[in-house]
């Protein structure tokens, strides 16, 4: 019984993960065979991770695929994983409007759910020394706003 209580509390605690950031990534590949979360999941499992590092993956056609459950800590941005949701856009040089439409909807939904504002949305490159997601914040905002 005690164990069940502990388990229940642990679960409750995880469900109440404090989200302060939404972090945007790209897969850095335009190859059609990489346009699916199952491929990214395999890459991450091969690194010895427990699951794909992102919470969401957005395919070229705009389809939203679910990765780690939101209550679980992701593996996508060192130093920020504990308090963030990671979203990955499939692509490198060829990111499409359908994807920006989906990410705009998802960001809206997450902002409402976690009480976040626009300044809680980050590109990976704003937090770490990386090119990810291959565009400036201005470009990202413009493409989101078009949707």
- The separation between CA 19 and the C-alpha centre of its own chain, rounded to angstroms, equals 12
- Specify the 3-state DSSP secondary structure of 66: strand
Establish if 132 lies at the interface with Zn ion (CB under 5 A).
yes
* Minimum CB–partner distance for residue 61 and Zn ion (Å): 21
Which among 20-28, 51-59, 65-73, 93-101 is the span making contact with Zn ion, rule CB under 5 A? 20-28
* Minimum CB–partner distance for residue 52 and Zn ion (Å): 13
DSSP 48-61: T-SS-S-SEEE-TT
Nearer to Zn ion, 38 or 129 (CB): 129
Looking only at residues 85 through 124 of this chain, which bind Zn ion when binding is defined by CB under 5 A?
A: 124
Nearer to Zn ion, 44 or 124 (CB): 124
Nearer to Zn ion, 84 or 102 (CB): 84
Which among 11-19, 96-104, 114-122, 131-139 is the span making contact with Zn ion, rule CB under 5 A? 131-139
* Minimum CB–partner distance for residue 74 and Zn ion (Å): 11
How many other β-carbons are positioned within 10 Å of the β-carbon of residue 139? 13
Alpha-carbon span 78 to 29, nearest angstrom: 21
SS (H, E, C) 72-128: CCCCCCCCCHHHEEEEEECCCCCCCHHHHHHHHHHHHHHHHHHCCCHHHEEEHHHHC
> In the set 19, 22, 25, 85, which binds Zn ion (CB under 5 A)?
25
Q: How many residues bind Zn ion (CB under 5 A)?
A: 3
Establish if 60 lies at the interface with Zn ion (CB under 5 A).
no
Candidates 47, 45, 143, 64; CA nearest to 106 is 64
Residues that bind Zn ion (CB under 5 A): 25, 124, 132
């Amino acid at each position: 019984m005690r164990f069940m209580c502990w388990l229940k509390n642990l679960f409750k605690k995880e469900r109440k993960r404090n989200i302060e950031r939404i972090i945007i990534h790209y897969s850095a590949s335009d190859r059609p065979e990489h346009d699916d979360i199952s491929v990214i999941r395999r890459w991450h499992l091969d690194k010895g991770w427990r699951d794909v590092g992102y919470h969401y993956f957005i395919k070229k056609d705009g389809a939203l695929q679910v990765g780690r459950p939101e209550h679980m800590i992701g593996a996508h941005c060192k130093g920020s994983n504990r308090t963030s949701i990671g979203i990955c856009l499939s692509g490198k040089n060829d990111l499409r409007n359908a994807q920006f439409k989906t990410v705009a909807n998802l960001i809206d939904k997450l902002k409402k759910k976690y009480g976040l504002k626009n300044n809680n949305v980050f590109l990976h490159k704003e937090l770490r020394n990386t090119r990810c997601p291959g565009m400036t914040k201005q470009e990202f905002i413009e493409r989101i706003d078009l949707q």
